[in-house]
Amino acid sequence: MLRFLVRRLIVALLVAATVVTLAFMLTRLSGDLAISIAGANATQQDVEQVRRAYGLDRPLVVQFFDWVGRAALGDFGQSYFFKQRVSELIAERMPVTVTLGLVGLAIALVVSLPLGIIAAVRENTAVDRLVQLVALIGQAMPSFWLGLILMVTLGLRLGWLPISGTGSWEHYVMPGIVLAFSAIPALTRLTRSGMIQALASDYIRTARAKGLSRASILLKHALRNAAIPVVAIAAVQLGFMLGGSIVIESVFALHGVGFLAWESIGKNDFPVVQAVVLVLAVIYIGLTMLADLMNAVLDPRLRSA
């Protein structure tokens, strides 16, 4: 177990290092950054000044290690546009994105688990097909479009929820629903197949032979085993959701890191962009490790292995 964790940690660090390099290279794609930053109307002199001010005149390797060294200490430099420390910007915006992600995941789980369980219990019936149809619809739904449709219906026509902004908990409901849609198909299918497998297993037959109640058989014996992969995938899905929140945050003008990144991309504010890419990647790596850990905690067979 410990050896497994150590090995896992080493791989995670290597992945992080690779992503750091990619994030750095990403922002150098456009060629001369100084020109982008200075703007289209800048004179040759302005560009030179920018180049020196941001240290862009140094060799690329020096720039890279300088950036990595600082990033490791949580210093992502200064935003060109916001004139603020990037780390502060991200710290300010992160709670919004994390809240959104957690709300989305919570909604997704609240919907997927019962749907998956019902579909498994009623396997091959109309109910099962309906659930699979819901999953298919969720999979085909363009999230930004769903967001707009909800804004028009729930927000404007029915007036139930605020259309955009970050003020209260109500602002998270619609984006949360939209974000949940992206995770519902995978989670529902996984719950369904896990439950079908569990319900067909010998230990469920034993539980029935013991005369246990239906609720206990389904929720205690079957779900406990079916939930192991679901919990792990839920953690990974949260990572995907945080990464994908950029679209939803811009639709709903929710001022999280995704929105920040979108604004920064439009303004060529590359320190912010590379920092957000890095932070989201590191969070994802952390979540996959968490998923492995939770697997080990939930599955007694892995725990002692």
Partner 1 sequence: MSAAGVGPAPRRGWRSAATWVGAAIVGAVLFCAVFAPLLVPHDPFAQDLNNRLATPFWMDEGHDPAHLLGTDGLGRDYLSRLIYGARISMMIGVLTVVTSGLIGITLGVLGGFAGGRVDDAVLFAITCRLSIPVVLVALAVVGLLGSSLILVVLTLGLLLWDRFAVVARSTTMQVRNLDFVAAAWCAGCSRFHILLREVLPNIASHLVVVATLEMALAILLEAALSFLGLGVPPPLPSWGLMIAEAKEYMFFSPWVIVIPGVALFVLVLGINLLGDGLRDLFGTETET
Partner 2 sequence: MTALLEVEGLRVAFGGRIEAVRGASLAVARGQTHCLVGESGCGKSVSALAVMNLLARRGRRTADRLAFDGADLLGLSDTAMARLRGDRMAMIFQEPMTSLNPAYTVGSQMAEVLRRHRKVTRRAALDRAAELLGRVGITAPGMRLGQFPHQLSGGLRQRVMIAMALMCDPELLIADEPTTALDVTVQAQILRLLAGLQRDLGLAILLITHDLGVVARVAHHVSVMYAGEVVESAPTASLFANPRHPYTRGLLACVPVPGKVRRDQPLGSIPGVVPRVEPGFAGCAFRDRCAHADATCAAAIPRHAAGEGHDFLCRLPPDWVQAEAAP
For partner 2, which is the closer residue by CB, 199 or 275?
199
207, 128 Cβ separation under 8 angstroms: no
The entry of partner 1, partner 2, none that residue 216 binds, CB within 5 to 8 Å by partner kind: partner 2
Vertex 298, ends 108 and 240: CA angle to 5°? 35
Long-range contacts of 35-38 (CB under 8 A, 24+ apart): 36/268, 36/270, 37/80, 37/268, 37/270
For partner 2, which is the closer residue by CB, 40 or 215?
215
Q: Name the token pair of 141.
A: 């739904």
Q: Name the token pair of 292.
A: 């492995």
- In whole angstroms, what is the distance from residue 133 CA to residue 139 CA? 10
Q: Which of 174, 223, 277, 291 forms a contact with partner 1 (CB under 8 A)? A: 277
- In whole angstroms, what is the distance from residue 283 CA to residue 23 CA? 15
Helices 270-298 and 86-121, interaxial angle, to 10°?
40
Q: Determine if 61 is a binding residue for partner 2 (CB under 8 A).
A: no
For CA atoms 124, 129, 130, 136, give the dihedral sign.
Answer: positive
Q: Which of 4, 65, 145, 203 forms a contact with partner 1 (CB under 8 A)? A: 145
Q: Which of 42, 127, 130, 148 forms a contact with partner 1 (CB under 8 A)? A: 148
- Residue 153 sits at φ, ψ, to 5 deg, of -80, -65
- In whole angstroms, what is the distance from residue 103 CA to residue 117 CA? 21
164, 96 Cβ separation under 8 angstroms: no
For partner 1, which is the closer residue by CB, 19 or 223?
19
Near partner 1 by CB under 8 A, which window of 85-93, 94-102, 164-172, 276-284?
276-284
- Residue 268 sits at φ, ψ, to 5 deg, of 55, 30
For partner 1, which is the closer residue by CB, 200 or 297?
200
Q: Determine if 30 is a binding residue for partner 1 (CB under 8 A).
A: yes
Q: What is the smallest separation between the CB atom of 17 and partner 2, expressed in angstroms?
A: 37
* Per-residue x/- track, 103-132, partner 1 (CB under 8 A): ---------------------x----x---
- In whole angstroms, what is the distance from residue 16 CA to residue 13 CA? 5
Q: Determine if 216 is a binding residue for partner 1 (CB under 8 A).
A: no
Q: What is the smallest separation between the CB atom of 164 and partner 1, expressed in angstroms?
A: 12
* Per-residue x/- track, 221-260, partner 1 (CB under 8 A): ------------------x--xxx-xx--x-------x--
Q: Determine if 208 is a binding residue for partner 2 (CB under 8 A).
A: yes
- In whole angstroms, what is the distance from residue 19 CA to residue 197 CA? 37
Judged by the rule CB under 8 A, the positions of this chain that interact with partner 2 are: 201-203, 205-214, 216, 221, 224-225, 228, 298-301, 304
> Which residues are at the interface with partner 1 (CB under 8 A)?
11, 14-16, 18-19, 22, 26-27, 29-30, 36, 124, 129, 136-137, 139-145, 148-149, 151-152, 156, 200, 239, 242-244, 246-247, 250, 258, 261-262, 265-266, 268, 270, 273, 276-277, 280-281, 284-285, 288
